[in-house]
Structure 1
Amino acid sequence: MEADGLTNEQTEKVLQFQDLTGIDDMNRCRDVLIRHSWDIEVAFQEHLNIREGRPTMFAASTDVRAPTVINDRFLQQVFSANMPGGRTISRVGPAGPVPRNFTGFVGYVINFVFQYFYSTFSSIVSAFVNFGGGNEQRIVTDPLGDVMKFIREYYERYPEHPVFYQGTYAQALNDAKQELRFLIVYLHKDPTKNPDVDTFCRETLASPSVIEYINTHTLLWGCDVSSPEGYRVMQSITVRNFPLMAMISLRANRMTVVGRFEGDCTAEGLLRRLRAVVAANEVWLSQARADRLERNFTQTLRRQQDLAYEQSLLADEEKERQKQRELDAVRQQQEAVEQERRAAELRKENIARQKIELARFVPTEPPVDVMGSIAVVFKLPSGKRLERRFRETDTILEVYYFLFCHPDSPDEFEITTNFPKRVLYSNADCNPAEGCFTNENINKTLRDVGLKNREVLFVNDLEA
């Protein structure tokens, strides 16, 4: 199975389906599962429908259109009651008509040729009669009802029989085509008036070997030609003698009548004829299965390729989206850095402007010998020392203006004493440069905060 391109899971399903159905041909099991998308439950239900003679999902509607059937005698194996295996030959005895000498052989050939031309002439005459209106046209109004009536009457008269297909002729043709199986079309007239029909049904079709072979290898559809559905089918396949069994199979992608069994015959003879027709035409079904498998494999492969292509496109699109997200993240980061840089530059520009604007509020430095002056030494965070004299009446705000406007001073700072440590001013509480004057020391004089004569104050950078 691996050579057929099946996965391990699909091979397991083929084996499981074979165990459930008992079908010997693994290729047939595989084909059924492929057509049902590898759904074992659906495939098994369809198999049960066919085995019980019911239409499958392919022909569930009674309005389904029947495929065209090719009825060409050059493509058919024709068997009649006068040929070996027929009931007429059997009644003659073992010696029968088999020629024992040259004269007898010539007579046999002449009789065979005469029978052939007679049957052909009778068919032509029948066709002209029908064309000329000899038979009344029958309108088919309930084809399924005609078939079900035939099955009920047949079951009542002949309890032993193969399984008849419980659907219309069109449904049977469609199912046989979909399942790649042989379809046997059985037609007969009233058995009470046709001894050959009664014998064929009571003995031949009731044979266990015939029942087993037909149920296993074919679909069997039957109808009485007295019904509109049976009459229509009889007209389409040109029946001459009853009972009639016509075997239809897919041949060169067309449903074709490949075998015709006319008249009564023994069970052994019917089995030989059925096997001969099946053997001669099985190659066409095998080729159809191979072609269907190849088409299914090609379609599956194409679907897989399309899926892989779509997944590749999705992966490429996801890569593009991820790449775009990364680019967006980098761009946003760069914009954030740029915004911070601009904000910092703007802040520096604002501080520079404020220093210029606030420089006019810096008090003048008093002379050395002026009473009430205080010498203050400022220790900057850089280690640099600034010395400046202030009047004891100068406020802490004016001291802040001096430090803020000095180029060596930090932008955000606090002013503290050494011991005991006190915070005289802090930008963390209030920034006078921005118009905030709520600090409790901001308007106090140096004398009010306890500074005298010479003091050392520390300037701490709040941004460090």
Structure 2
Amino acid sequence: MTSPSTDLSALTEEQQLALQQFTSVTDQDLEAAVPLLQKCQWNAQIAITRFFDGDAETVDPVAEAARAPPPEQNARRTETLMDGIPARSSSSRNRPAGLEAAPRVVPTPENQITQPLPFPFSIILLPFNLTYAIFQRVFGAVGYLFPFLPRLLARFWSGRASRPSRDSSRRPLGPSDTAARFIREFEEEYGVTHGTLPFYEGGYAQAFDIAKRDLKYLLVVLLSPEHDDNALFVRETLLAPEFTTFVNNPTNNILLWAGTVQDAEAYQVSNALNVTRFPYATLIVHTPSVSSTAMSKIATSSGPVAAQDLLTKLQTAIQTQSAELERVRRQRQEQQATRNLRQEQESAYERSLAQDREKARKRKEEEGAKEKAEKEEREKAERKADEARKLTQWRRWRAQSIPAEPGADVKDAVRMSLRMPSGERVIRKFRPDADLEELYAFVECYDYLEDESEKQVQEPAAFGHVYKFQLVSPMPREVYDLDKEGSIRDRIGRSGNLIVEKIVGEDDEDEDEAEDEES
């Protein structure tokens, strides 16, 4: 996880890209990567070069970064990075005997590999190119018929056998494509199956970085088809059973990278490694005794050599460096374990913090829901109490307007027998022209009719009264509701035996409570 002292959000997009590139190559912590990148003006290539050369503290990278052109300029990264590196640094002076510094060669960018001439120059040079091509084909045919001529001419070319060369007719490719082409040509020329030798299918710089990061032994093999010993070295040394078994054994931690000096990258590597004789093989590994970032050549072989002799040299060098590498591996494992433990602790803290936040959120939601429910309950209770109060007020008001029971002098009075919800039987006379609603009002306000001491009560405002019962004749059953208009005599007759049935059971308890409070 990100160190608390490093705030990635404060970095620009270009700085974050440079930081990501540097850490992916060097596998360093942010605490160590950010200061070095700041010294190098956030130039990732210079920082990587300083890191692997081990001279970030002895050479001022700020001045180097100021001299380096921006990435968008068309300049070779190899020249940009290598020109500012001193030929002999303090780490080279303190290097033990027998260890030679192994430089990291940055390959040419793919967009700079091919640099075609402008069209006018191509037209001008066309006759010369045709002449050169015809001469090359004629000379090749003569050399095929008379094989001794190329060798005879080679002897008069001083230094030809000791210096690497390039074939300008080969199409320049990127590092990965160049490695794939070399492996394909190697397998076709020597008739071996794919995987006989575990060549790394990538560039030298990538193999160099992997060997540095994973503490592996980088075995670099450079071939030159122009030398007669090349084919003999490949068949009797590289393809020897003991050698293929050695490089394919995963316990040896061998990373094999090979190339031909006819390609641009291998040519640059041969110049950087100061190769003077081919075929060439060297073993490169991290050397903690020099510095914490140094890579050195611990074994070198030039020219033809027997497979057993080369293996003995490599095994001796590996045995010499194995103790230091094992110490570094243990140190890195301890550092990784510490980082993993810190990450686990931080993850556990984050999970605990998230759980606490979730609990607090749920508790807040529960409290909010509880408060809402209590508020709704209070509002409901207040609303019911207000309705009960208004219902009581309406009953008292309506009881004042119910006419008194007709006397004996009224011959056509209507006589009704009512069975109340409480079970009480009530018999009362009504005027013959009394509306059916008056009978309903009598039942609704029965408990308030005898309260003559009550003062005049006003009708409650904003209250729509609804009768929550109905009058029913038992036999035959007939419901006398208020939907139809008419008087008591027209609807029921001169007499009737009715039952009061409640039609809304939800508010029965509320009415009872209101009646209890009123009583």
TM-score of the pair, normalised by structure 1: 0.54
Among 163, 171, 174, the alignment partner of 2:206 is 171
Provide the C-alpha distance between the structure 1 equivalents of 2:247 and 2:241, rounded to a whole number of angstroms: 10
Task: Specify the SS of the correspondent of 2:255.
Answer: strand
Q: What amino acid does structure 1 have at the position aligned with 2:488?
A: K
Provide the C-alpha distance between the structure 1 equivalents of 2:197 and 2:188, rounded to a whole number of angstroms: 14
Asked if 1:443 is matched to 2:510, the reply is: no
Q: What amino acid does structure 2 have at the position aligned with 1:209?
A: E
Asked if 1:280 is matched to 2:320, the reply is: yes
What do the CA deviations read for 1:252-302 (whole angstroms, capped 9, x no partner)? 343322223345544333222111101111234434444554455455555
Distance 1:338 1:279, change over 3 A: same
Distance 1:408 1:255, change over 3 A: farther
Q: Match for residue 354 of structure 1?
A: 394
Matches within 5 A, 1:390-401: 390-401=430-441
Q: Is the 8 A contact 1:242 1:262 kept in 2?
A: yes
Asked if 1:413 is matched to 2:492, the reply is: no
Distance 1:191 1:202, change over 3 A: farther
Provide the C-alpha distance between the structure 2 equivalents of 1:279 and 1:413, rounded to a whole number of angstroms: 106
Asked if 1:238 is matched to 2:283, the reply is: no
Q: Match for residue 382 of structure 1?
A: 422
Provide the C-alpha distance between the structure 1 equivalents of 2:492 and 2:245, rounded to a whole number of angstroms: 125
Q: Match for residue 251 of structure 1?
A: 287
Task: Specify the SS of the correspondent of 1:407.
Answer: helix
Among 208, 211, 216, the alignment partner of 2:241 is 208
Aligned length in residues = 330
Distance 1:373 1:137, change over 3 A: closer
Q: Match for residue 220 of structure 2?
A: 185
Distance 1:408 1:290, change over 3 A: farther
Percent same amino acid at aligned positions?
Answer: 27
| Higher RCO (CA < 8 A, seq sep 6+) | 1
Matches within 5 A, 1:292-331: 292-294=332-334, 296-298=336-338, 300-301=340-341, 304-305=344-345, 307-331=347-371
Provide the C-alpha distance between the structure 1 equivalents of 2:189 and 2:436, rounded to a whole number of angstroms: 128
Q: Is the 8 A contact 1:416 1:457 kept in 2?
A: yes
Q: Kindly state the Cα deviation for residue 225 of structure 1 after the two structures are TM-superposed.
A: 5.1
Provide the C-alpha distance between the structure 1 equivalents of 2:393 and 2:484, rounded to a whole number of angstroms: 23
Provide the C-alpha distance between the structure 2 equivalents of 1:446 and 1:173, rounded to a whole number of angstroms: 114
Task: Specify the SS of the correspondent of 2:487.
Answer: coil
Provide the C-alpha distance between the structure 2 equivalents of 1:247 and 1:335, rounded to a whole number of angstroms: 82
Q: What amino acid does structure 1 have at the position aligned with 2:307?
A: A
Q: Is the 8 A contact 2:199 2:257 kept in 1?
A: yes
Among 257, 266, 287, the alignment partner of 1:221 is 257
Task: Specify the SS of the correspondent of 2:284.
Answer: strand
Q: Kindly state the Cα deviation for residue 182 of structure 1 after the two structures are TM-superposed.
A: 1.0
Q: Kindly state the Cα deviation for residue 363 of structure 1 after the two structures are TM-superposed.
A: 1.8
Distance 1:237 1:220, change over 3 A: same
List runs of 5+ in structure 1 lacking aligned partners: 1-34, 36-64, 80-133, 431-437
What do the CA deviations read for 1:315-359 (whole angstroms, capped 9, x no partner)? 444444444454454345434433443342333233234334434
Q: Kindly state the Cα deviation for residue 249 of structure 1 after the two structures are TM-superposed.
A: 0.9
Q: Match for residue 44 of structure 1?
A: none
Compare 177-186 and 320-329 and name the one that shifted more.
Answer: 320-329
The structure whose Rg is larger is 1
Q: Is the 8 A contact 2:166 2:261 kept in 1?
A: no
Q: What amino acid does structure 1 have at the position aligned with 2:439?
A: V
Q: Match for residue 404 of structure 1?
A: 444
Q: Match for residue 378 of structure 2?
A: 338
Provide the C-alpha distance between the structure 2 equivalents of 1:178 and 1:148, rounded to a whole number of angstroms: 23
TM-score of the pair, normalised by structure 2: 0.49
Distance 1:250 1:377, change over 3 A: same
Q: Match for residue 21 of structure 2?
A: none
Matches within 5 A, 1:40-59: none
Q: Is the 8 A contact 1:164 1:220 kept in 2?
A: yes
Distance 1:443 1:321, change over 3 A: farther
Asked if 1:270 is matched to 2:310, the reply is: yes
Provide the C-alpha distance between the structure 1 equivalents of 2:203 and 2:492, rounded to a whole number of angstroms: 118
Q: Match for residue 455 of structure 2?
A: none
Distance 1:446 1:212, change over 3 A: closer
CA-atom RMSD in angstroms: 4.8
Q: Kindly state the Cα deviation for residue 206 of structure 1 after the two structures are TM-superposed.
A: 4.7
